[in-house]
Structure 1
Amino acid sequence: MMLVAALLSWFLVGLFINMSKARGWGQPVRKDGSKSHLVKEGTPTAGGVPFVIALALVFFPLYFTGHGGDQRELIIMLAALGMGIIGGIDDWLKVRSRMTGGGKKELLAREKFPLQFLVALVFAWFAAPLASHTLLPGLGGIGGVPIWDILLLTFVMIGSVNAFNFTDGIDGQLAGVGIIVLLPLLALSPTAALLVAVLLGYLWFNAHPARVFMGDMGSHAIGAIAAGAYILYADVWLLPIAALIPVVEVLSVVIQVAYFKRTGKRVFRMAPIHHHFENIDTPWPETHIAMRFWIITAVMTAVAWWLMGGRP
C-alpha cells in the first residue's frame, strides 16, 4: 500500500500544481528575505493539502478493513488531520488574501495556539495510557488520570507541530527530514509508513527547483505524526534527538525574537536558521543546506535508535 500511497500522492500533487497555476494560487516571497528566493514568486503553495488527502484516502480503507493497525493508528491519524486542518485554514487565508488583495492574511499565533492546544490535549488524553514507555517516572496521576503525562504529551505534540512547521522553507528540506525521522518506524506504524510514501510522491515536485511549496497543512500533519508515532511506538524522549533539526529551527526563532525584543539586535542573519545560512557572507546554496540538514537528521535518528538498542 505504500506504493499506492506514493503514486496517489504524486498524481494529486501534480494535479494540484496544474490547478494552482491555472487559478494563480502562488506563494508571495518576503522582499526582505533571501534574494535567491525572489525567483520563486508565484510558485504554488499549500502542496501539503493533496498529500494529506492521499494519506487519508489510503489510511481509512485500510484501517476499517482491519489492515491499518490498532487504535493507536487512529489516534495518530486523527491528530494529524486535526493539526492539518488548522494549518489548512492558515493556507487558505494566505491564498485568499493574495488573490483578493485584502482580508485576513493568516491565523495569528493567539488564534492558532489555542486550536493546537485543543487538538494536542485530546490526543494526549487518549495516547497517555497507550504510550510505549514510562513518560514521567515517579509522578503519579490524579484520580487515576495520568495528568502529568497528558500535559507532557500535549506540550510535545504542540512543540513538534511548530518545530516541523519552522523547518519548512527550503526546497525538499522538510519532506526529507520528515522521511528520515520516520524511517525507523516503518514496520511499526502504518500511518508513519504511509506518510513516508506520500512524502516521496510530494518530493518529486518539491525537489529543487520546487514546483510547489508545502504550506502549513502538510507541515502540521508531519509534526503530528512524528510526535504520535514516537510517543506510541518508540519513546517520547527520542523524538527531540531524531528531530534535532526541527528543534534547532524552532529554537532559532525563539532566540531571535527574544534577543531582538531585549536588545534591538539579531543573533542570526535571518530566522529560522536555514535562512541564516543563505544570508551569511559566503552563502550556502539552498541544495547544500537541505542536504546537510538531511545528513544531520540521519545521524541523529541513528543515534536515537542506538540509544534504544535498535528497537522500541
Structure 2
Amino acid sequence: MTLTLLFGLAISFLVTLVFAPFFIPLLRRLHFGQYIREEGPKSHQKKAGTPTMGGVIFLIGLVAGILVMALKYHMTTQDTYMLLFVTLGFGLIGLLDDFIKISMKRNMGLTSKQKIAGQLIISIVFWIIMTRYDYSTYLSFPGTNFMVNLHWFYPLFVVFLLIGVPNATNLTDGMDGLLSGLSVIAFAAYAVIAWFAMNLGVAVFATVMLGALLGFLIFNAHPARVFMGDTGSLAIGGALAGMAILTNTEILLAVIGGVFAIETLSVIIQVISFKTTGRRVFKMSPIHHHFELSGWSEWKVVTVFWLVGLTLAVLGIYLKVGIVI
C-alpha cells in the first residue's frame, strides 16, 4: 500500500513537472498576468505580469494521479471522489475569479456575493453526498477522547468550514511559495493521518495532491515563475476542509493549518481595530506583509512561516496518532 501511494505521488509530481513548462508560456502569450494592487508592498510591483491561474497546473497533476490510482490500482473510494469534487469545484470558482480579474485588468474578480453563492452551492452538494453515507456528526477534540454530537448543527458547521478554509488559504497566498509550501506540509500531514486511520480514499487523495503541489512549488518558489491565483488557493482550501470533515479532524485542522488561521485572524483584528479605533495593529494584513514591511526579506518570511507550519503539522500528527513522524 505504501509503495503504491508513493507511486501515485510520483505520477502527479511528474505530470505537473512536465505540464508546467508548456502551460506557463501559454499563459504569457495569452497575457494572463497578475495584477498587483497599488496599496500592497512596493516591492511586489515588479511581480506585475507574472503568469497567474497556475493552479490549473497542479490540478491537472492531481486529476492525472487520481486516474492512475483508480484505473491501474483501484485504490480510490467514495472519499477520494468527494474530495476531487470539492477541490475542482472550488478551483472552478477561483478560475472564473482569475479570468475576470485578468480580462478586466483589475484586482477585483467575482463579487463577494457571487463567490459565496458558488461556494455555498458546492458545500451543500458535498453535504448532500455525505448524507448518503454513514459519516459521523461528532466533533472530536484533539489529544482527548472527548466528542460532541452536533446533530442538526453539523450540516451548518460543514458549510462554514468549506467556505471558511478556502478563504483562509486565499488570504495566505501573498508571497512566492508561501501557500504552496504550507500546503505541501498540510497535505503530507493528512496523508500520514489517513494512512494510520486506514482511510485509503483520503490517503490516496492527500498523497497525490502532495505530489502535484511539490511539482508546482518548483515553479512557484521565489522568484516565482507562475502564481497559483484563486484557482489554486480556493482549490487547496476546499481540499483541506474536505479532508478534515471526512477524517473527523475538523478541529485538528486549526492546528495543522494553524498558519492559515493566524493569517485570517490578523485580517479580522486589523479590520476591527481600524473600524473601532481608527488605528492599525499591523503595518499591513495579512500578517506576512507586516513582517515584510518590518524589514524581513520575502524569502525569510516564507521560510519562517514554513517552519511554523511544519511544527504545527507535526504537533497535529502527534495529537491524532500519538507519535511524532
Q: Quick check: TM above 0.5?
A: yes
Match of 2:293 in 1: 279
Q: Which residue of 2 aligns with 1:10?
A: 17
Q: Let me know the Cα RMSD of the aligned residues.
A: 2.1
Q: Is the 1:48–1:217 contact (alpha carbons within 8 Å) kept by the matching residues of 2?
A: yes
8 Å contact kept, 1:133–1:235: no
With over 3 angstroms needed to count, the CA separation of the structure-2 counterparts of 1:130 and 1:193, relative to structure 1, is farther
**Shift in Å, 1:32:** 2.2
Identity %: 37
1:102-159: CA deviation from partner (whole Å, max 9, x where unpaired): xx94111121112112211222333365546832755464xxxxx3221111111111
1:204–1:148 distance in 2 versus 1, CA, 3 Å: same
**Unmatched 5+ stretches in structure 2:** 1-7, 141-146
Give the 3-state SS of the residue equivalent to 2:138 in structure 1.
Answer: coil
Which residue, out of 53, 66, 71, partners 1:59?
66
Q: TM-score, normalised by structure 2?
A: 0.86
Q: Superposition pairs for residues 1-312 of structure 1, below 5 Å?
A: 1-63=8-70, 67-98=74-105, 105-127=108-130, 130-131=134-135, 134-135=138-139, 137=147, 139=149, 141=151, 147-186=152-191, 187=195, 188=200, 189-233=203-247, 235-280=249-294, 283-310=295-322
Counterpart Cα distance in 2 of 1:131 and 1:176: 31
| Distance (Å, rounded) in 2 between the aligned partners of 1:125 and 1:235 | 20
Q: TM-score, normalised by structure 1?
A: 0.89
CA positional deviation for 1:310: 3.4
Q: Which residue identity lines up with residue 117 of structure 1 in the other structure?
A: L
SS at match of 1:308: helix
Q: CA deviation at 1:95?
A: 1.3
Work out whether residues 189 and 256 of structure 2, in 8 Å CA contact, stay in contact via their aligned partners in 1. no
CA distance in 1, matches of 2:148, 2:190: 28
Cα distance in 2 between the residues matched to 1:279 and 1:207: 20
Letter in 1 for 2:163: I
Give 3-state SS (helix, strand or coil) of 2:283's partner: coil
CA distance in 1 between partners of 2:123 and 2:281 (Å): 31
Say if 1:159 and 1:220 are closer, same or farther in 2 by CA, change over 3 A. same
Matched residues in 1 for 2:20 and 2:10: separation? 15
Deviations 1:228-263 (CA, angstroms, capped at 9, x unpaired): 222223521110011000011111122222222223
Which range moved further: 151-160 or 82-91? 151-160
* CA distance, structure 2, for counterparts of residue 133 and residue 219 of structure 1: 27
Distance 1:65 1:291 in 2: 38
AA aligned to 1:246 is F
2-structure distance, mates of 1:234, 1:310: 16
Match of 2:144 in 1: none
Deviation digits for residues 9-33 of structure 1 (CA, Å, limit 9, x no counterpart): 1222221211122222211212221
Contact 1:47–1:212 (Cα < 8 Å) also in 2: yes
Aligned partners of 2:68, 2:17: CA distance in 1, in Å?
19
The answer on whether the counterparts of 1:132 and 1:233 sit within 8 Å (CA) in structure 2 is no
- Structure 1's 238 and 127: CA in aligned 2 closer, same or farther, altered over 3 A? farther
1:131/1:231 contact within 8 Å kept: no
The 3-state SS of whatever aligns with 1:135 is strand
Aligned partners of 1:214 and 1:54: how far apart in 2? 14
The amino acid of 2:138's aligned partner reads: T
**Runs of 5+ unmatched residues, structure 1:** 142-146
